[in-house]
Structure 1
Amino acid sequence: MISYNEAIDLIAANAVRAAARTVSLSDALGQILAEDVVASLNLPPFRNSAMDGFAIKRTEVAAGQASEIGATVAAGDVTPTDQAPVVRIMTGALVSSAYDAVIPIEQAEVSGQSVVFAHIPAAGANIREAGEDVAQGEAVLNAGESVTPEKLALLAALGVREVSVITLPDVHVFSTGNELSDGGNLSEAMIHNSNGPYLLAAARRAGLVAHDGGIIRDEAQNLVAAIQAIKTPSIIITTGAVSKGEKDFVPEALKALGAEIVFHRINLRPGKPILFARLPQGHFYFGLPGNPVAAAVGWRFFVQALVRQLSGLGRERPLVAKLKAPVVKGNGLYQFLKAGFELTPDGLRAEVLDGQESFKLKSLAQGHGYIALPEAAKTYEAGEAVEAFLYDATSLFEVGE
């Protein structure tokens, strides 16, 4: 049995950054950039007005004196040839170099074709200079960053139409067990399948293409046949049948497939029986425990560790949270505890939830993530700092509700 950190190191050692592909910007959301993005133009691309008002030549107008209004310049207009000391201008309209300030319309008294200003602002007032936001040639996004809606907006403004992204393998999810219902009413001794829907949703939330392999009944040949049907290198995840029970057939199936088992069993709670393997067909394989919280921990800390390595991101850095109440940790296992988080003026605070058993889903649904406690037995005091991991970055939106 190996340590948690040894398991993460072994995953890293068995993964290299995946190949890149080019996608249109409309298909880039959630994808990982394979290359830096360098601005090919200035942003703004030209000098323009920050508001509706009047562009002025400061040396040709004076406070309290009427000035004649020349042309009107709207957004999208080419600079007029009119060289009047004052032109009416709209937000976003091009400001020629002849004009060195813009006065808001609210600070002007207009009478017919003349205008009086109460005061004359400093040079450059209310003008957005070309490249003030982004300079041409500037690296605006780095390889390894995920394309969010906010980053997509920046790329669109820069005229980017295609980006190079990491080609991550598809994910195939199988749930094992004769006790699992495939829908409808439950018969005696049956349960609904929660691991499959969870893993599919988590993979898709991470921007991966995920396939539902359904339920594998408790025979090794069923799993062998299902994996042999996957023709392109993938991340294969199964839940259940990975421990040491009579019906735990995953090791037998992997042997039949010629798999190299990288590790099996970790000094961890929940998730001790987790298995990681490489298959000759190029597949990565994770055998996760059947208890739902152990499966969730397997996804969050092991499958995602592989995805990060394939994306070129390296090892995840934890957040730091302070405990709201004392926590007594026994045993010698590395432990993930379900937790709720709250953002406070003093930083992130963590509350360890009731219902830490790995079969209990209600506390998983109520929380925002996990705190991680190393192997040594210890009493953690209220206010003590611990490592924290959110389920996902979007979990921050719910913190404090």
Structure 2
Amino acid sequence: MTPRRGAVERDEFDEALSLGNAHLAAPRGEEYGDAFTLDREEPEPFTAPHQTHQTHQTHQAHQAHQAHQAHQAHQAHPHAATPWPEAHRLATRAARPLTPVPRALAQAVGHVLAAPLQSLADLPPFDTSAMDGYAVAGPGPWQLAEGQGILAGAADAATLEDGGAVRIATGARVPAGATAVVRSEHAAVRADGTLHARDVRTGQDIRPRGQECRSGTPLLAAGAEVTPAVAGLAAAAGYDELSVYPRPRVEVLVLGEELLHRGLPSGGRIRDALGPMLAPWLHALGADAFVTRRLGDDAELLYEAVATSTAQLVVTTGGTADGPVDHVHGTLRRLHADLLVDGVQVRPGHPMLLARLPNGAHLAGLPGNPLAAVTGLVTLAEPLLRALRGAPPRAETRAALTEDVTGHPRDTRVVPVAYDGAGRARPLHFTGPAMLRGLASAQALAVVPPGGARAGQDALLLPLPWRTGE
């Protein structure tokens, strides 16, 4: 199979595995990388507005010369791919949490607590009625006081004397002297104004002060996700705002001239699948994916975009191999970036990379094939984002595979699975590097070690964020 351009991560072995026909192809150990990148949206060139045709030709020649030099340098100094578990661990440890910021409670939802949450008040702050009914003092029958009674939010009521009763609303402060609350449906008021009820127990339907917690009680540890319920608890506990880690800002740069971003595939070009997918996926991971840019195969545009980005994480798609228009490595060299991971022993997704930029931000280079890019996303970008947003590493989830999974002899495989939530994971079909049909039906990705796995064997699962609410 001859690659159309760049390095196409699509060998016969991977394609056979994706369709369940591993016997049709012997493993070749070759990695063609990615050929599927994004359509360009007429970006403005960084050259002067009055450039001549000759200047444009010179610019093109310079790009070709740079690409040739980069290719020769890569061939002269080949790198060893990192085993998948090690690459995943490296990404987890690659960054520290961002500087905490205060956020109003509603705006804090979706962030991670930067400080422990402890109650600023007793909950409830006073004895309250758990039901609409009557506050009573001592044994009955009781003489019912006139008037509408005690409403929620009312100031202190008069002390209730033994044998007395007063109407009370749910959530209202129980008056001093009251020994119980009798529900309206369990009480009878007679014509003489006396209240009668059976089997009234001391303390019934009264929520005592501090029943849920006392002031100073630890409620949640730092690193907890702020959910709507957490925001509600914080409000009840006396908070107006929370100290949280900000969402990491992410810029997505889609590379390649061969992708269309609208309409049907035509003229040798195919639709871009990653552009519409990555920003929502990153948002589900807790990031602020604030822009997606299409840069084509222009090395200067890529360099300028990465060098001037204000994001804490730059995500590129395509261009991570060593083809003539694969410019990610060259851009990182020009920027003197620190390559943390340069290739991973995984199928699909071998030519992924992770780099630290001079300004302290990171770049995750994803392959261009869609499922290969997703593998790069969950291997490198997701654990890095968890670190940046102050979230602890994901709790390990394992499940028994319901079928045999053919493995690669040397590399880890990442396979979409249907996960039932009860410890069983069914491997799905249509899982080639360029395919998304299996992923679209999946609840998780199974990490299959080199050599494969048998039915009934436990596998590590990477749950998809929109399936788990994470």
Fold shared, TM-score > 0.5 on shorter chain: yes
Q: How does 1:288-299 map to 2 (within 5 A)?
A: 288-299=366-377
Counterpart of 2:464 (choices 387, 391, 394) is 391
Match of 1:91 in 2: 170
Which residue, out of 67, 73, 79, partners 2:150?
A: 73
Who is 2:393 aligned against?
315
From 21, 44, 48, the equivalent of 2:101 is 21
Q: C-alpha distance in 2, partners of 1:271/1:174?
A: 18
**Amino acid aligned to 1:288:** L
| Contact 2:318–2:326 (CA under 8 A) maintained in structure 1 | yes
**Equivalent position SS for 1:301:** helix
Q: In the TM superposition, what are the counterparts of 1:2-401 in structure 2 within 5 Å? A: 2-58=82-138, 61-62=139-140, 66-70=141-145, 72-81=149-158, 83-84=160-161, 85-112=164-191, 113-121=193-201, 123-184=202-263, 186-230=265-309, 232-343=310-421, 347-375=422-450, 377-382=451-456, 384-392=457-465, 394-396=466-468
| Residues 310-338 of structure 1 deviation map (CA, whole Å, 9 limit, x = unaligned) | 23334322212222333343422112110
* Cα distance change, pair 86–314 in 1 and its aligned pair in 2 (3 A): closer
Q: Under a length normalisation based on structure 2, what TM-score does the superposition of the two structures give?
A: 0.77
CA shift for structure 1 position 378: 4.2
**Residues 286 and 389, structure 2, Cα contact 8 Å, conserved in 1:** no
Relative contact order higher in (CA < 8 Å, ≥ 6 apart): 2
- Shift, 1:186, TM fit: 4.2
Quick one: structure 1 residues 351 and 258, their matched pair in 2 at CA, closer, same or farther if it must change by over 3 Å? same
1:22/1:379 CA distance change after superposition, 3 Å: closer
8 Å CA contact retained: 1:237, 1:285: yes
Contact 1:335 1:374 in 2 (8 A): yes
Say if 2:111 and 2:247, in contact at 8 Å, map to a contact too.
no
Larger CA deviation: 10-19 vs 153-162 = 10-19
CA contact (8 A) 1:73 1:79 kept: no
Listed one character per residue, the Cα deviations across residues 106-151 of structure 1 (whole Å, up to 9, x for unaligned) are 1112224221112222x22111111211221012122111111111
1:223 aligned partner, one-letter code: L
Distance in 2 between residues matched to 1:219 and 1:261, nearest whole Å: 22
Contact 1:55–1:100, Cα closer than 8 Å, also in 2: yes
For the Cα contact (< 8 Å) 2:250–2:313, is it kept in 1? yes
Task: State how far apart, in whole Å, the 2-side matches of 1:172 and 1:140 are.
Answer: 35
- Rate the CA distance shift 1:118–1:309 in 2: closer, same or farther, 3 A: same
Q: How far apart in 1 are the matches of 2:368 and 2:177?
A: 72
Q: Deviations over 1:187-220 (max 9, x none)?
A: 4111222212211111222332213242121132
Given that residues 111 and 389 in structure 2 are in contact (C-alpha distance below 8 angstroms), is that contact kept between their aligned partners in structure 1? no
d(CA) in 2 for partners of 1:252, 1:379: 38
Task: Determine the C-alpha separation between the residues in 2 that align with 1:83 and 1:250.
Answer: 78
1:67 touches 1:115 (CA, 8 Å); kept in 2?
yes
Letter in 2 for 1:335: R
Q: Secondary structure at the match of 1:267?
A: strand
Kept after mapping to 2: 8 A contact 1:196/1:212: no
Call closer, same or farther: CA 1:150–1:167 in 2, change over 3 Å: same
Separation (CA, whole Å) in 2 of partners of 1:213 and 1:82: 66
* Bigger CA radius of gyration: 2
Q: 2:168 & 2:376 partners in 1: Cα distance?
A: 59
Amino acid at match of 2:383: A
Q: Compute the TM-score of the two structures, normalised by the length of structure 1.
A: 0.90
Could you tell me how far 1:31 is from its partner in structure 2? Answer: 0.9
One-letter identity of the residue aligned with 1:296: V
Q: 2: CA distance between counterparts of 1:75 and 1:217?
A: 63
Residue identity opposite 2:173 in structure 1: L
SS at match of 2:112: coil
- Contact 2:87 2:379 (8 Å CA) reproduced: no
The whole-number CA distance in structure 2 between the counterparts of 1:37 and 1:228 is: 39
Aligned letter for 1:386?
A: A
Deviation of the 1:268 alpha carbon: 0.9
Whether the 8 Å contact between 2:143 and 2:195 is mirrored in structure 1 is yes
Listed as ranges, the gaps of 5+ residues in structure 2 are: 1-80
Q: Distance in 2 between matches of 1:32 and 1:138?
A: 20
Shift of 1:385: 2.6
Letter in 2 for 1:362: R
Is the CA contact 2:102–2:244 (under 8 Å) kept in the aligned structure 1? yes
Q: SS state of the match for residue 145, structure 2?
A: strand
> How many residues matched?
384
Which segments of 5 or more consecutive residues in structure 1 lack a partner in the other structure? none
Could you tell me how far apart the structure 1 residues matched to 2:151 and 2:247 are?
Answer: 46
User: Does the 8 Å contact 2:351/2:366 carry over to 1?
Assistant: yes
Aligned to 2:23: none
Quote how far apart the aligned CAs of 1:73 are.
1.3
Q: Is the 8 A contact 1:70 1:82 kept in 2?
A: no
The one-letter amino acid paired with 1:171 is V
SS of 2:331's equivalent in the other structure is helix
Alpha-carbon offset, residue 18 of structure 1: 1.9
